[in-house]
Amino acid sequence: MIILGLDPSLSCTGWGVIRVEGSRISHIANGQIKTDAKAPLPDRLAHLDTVLAAVIADHAPECAAVEEVFVNDNPQSTLKLAHARGVALLACARGGLPVGEYAPRLVKKAIVGTGGAAKEQVQAMLRVLLPGAKVAGADAADALAVAICHANHRPRV
């Protein structure tokens, strides 16, 4: 099974694609989609949609996993995150992908063993779980972690 993990953000959405064969997980690809902070919101969302559609077309995942929104102290930041997350969910739906959604604490627990893990701990575990994978940045690492969380929590058939 090929899983697409997404860590949505308006400024930089991370994506990661893994293959799961039994209990074995391997890295396929990852990246980050950056948008121009000076561009109008609709243009930024359209760019995010276009690139996500290309990632889905290029890697043909069978399902996707998206990190849930966490509430920031700044309501504007939360709203921007929600816009990007909506685009990510729409891109997956357009691609015919069933989507799992996971809270950040659950993702950290699935990777490190504790929901309060630091980003550095998650990235260190990713190096163990996906040896040799060159990760494009922190947002791509988070997306790979979301994909692995889905691999561990998805319904078995």
Would residue 68 show up in a list of annotated catalytic residues for this protein?
no
Predicted pLDDT at 66? 97
What is the rounded distance in angstroms from the CA atom of residue 105 to the CA atom of residue 91?
24
Q: Residue 102: how many CB atoms within 10 A of its CB?
A: 22
Q: What residues pair up with 4 in beta bridges, in sequence order?
A: 17, 64
Predicted pLDDT at 71? 65
Q: Which of 2, 54, 23, 12 is nearest to 142 (CA)?
A: 12
Q: Which residues contribute to the annotated binding site for Mg(2+)? A: 7, 67, 139
Q: Find where tokens 């902070």 sit.
A: 37
Give CA 153 to chain center in angstroms: 15
| Tens-digit pLDDT string for the chain (157 aa) | 999 999 999 999 999 999 999 889 999 999 999 999 999 999 999 999 999 999 999 999 999 999 987 767 778 888 888 999 999 999 999 999 999 999 999 999 999 988 889 889 999 999 999 999 999 999 999 999 999 999 998 765 5
Predicted pLDDT at 21? 94
Active-site option among 7, 21, 43, 58: 7
Q: Which residues contribute to the annotated binding site? A: 7, 67, 139
Strands of 12-21's sheet in order across: 24-34, 12-21, 2-7, 63-67, 99-102
Would residue 58 show up in a list of annotated catalytic residues for this protein?
no
Q: Residue 11, SS3?
A: coil
Predicted pLDDT at 76? 83
Active-site option among 21, 49, 62, 67: 67
